[in-house]
Chain A
């Protein structure tokens, strides 16, 4: 069975400092992993995805994530936070299976960026 744990429900950083949002997953098969962002009153937008190619994945807006199988982690990072990064972030896992299994969301991490 697949599951996702986002280790922090809230993260607060100062503008210009690094961002780290932590995610651990459980998967029976080789997983696909995603990070989505949701700004207030907006829809879910894909930030980046891992689907068994390079383990370091680059996404939009300067975000990246590293797939570490030995640690079953897929942490999201950004070198320098911007005020516009304030939002809720969701880590998502999907077992590959035959055609790919359902998407399972973590509980989310709310990122606050202080000026």
Chain B
């Protein structure tokens, strides 16, 4: 399968614990996004990377959230000291962008469902 892969698919954690999610984008895609989706809402932007550079991080994100994309390939999203309000589906997407042509379509993974108890 050459689509966007996310791991794990499901995570249940106790409040206060740290969690880390991984995303493997489509090979050679230079753009990688992280979104969060709660029930009944559209995906909410968290952060995105162009190759290994993190271009923007949502102001809604607290300092407990951090993301990396070393070497411009896979990415990790870490949430420290989880809270019940962090419970959501975390979506990763990748796309191929080029200078002055902007975004092509983004391909989404199946997501990681986080439940904080």
Task: Mark A residues whose CB is within 8 Å of B.
Answer: 32, 34, 36, 43-46, 49, 51, 90, 94-108
Contact = CB atoms under 8 A, between A and B. Distances in A.
Chain B interface size, as a band, is 20 to 34
B69 to A, nearest CB: 15
Interface in B80-117: 91, 93, 95, 97-111
A100 B103 contact: yes
B42 A107 contact: yes
A43 B111 contact: yes
A94 B98 CA distance: 14
B103 A106 contact: no
Contact of A44 (B48, B95, B101, B108): B108
A103 B93 CA distance: 10
A97 B103 CA distance: 9
A90 B43 contact: yes
Contacts of A99: 31, 50, 97-99, 102
A45 B98 CA distance: 22
A98 B99 contact: yes
Nearest to B48: A102
A93 B82 CA distance: 31
Select the residue from B103, B105, B109 with max chain A CB neighbours within 10 A.
B103
A108 B41 contact: yes
B28 interface: no
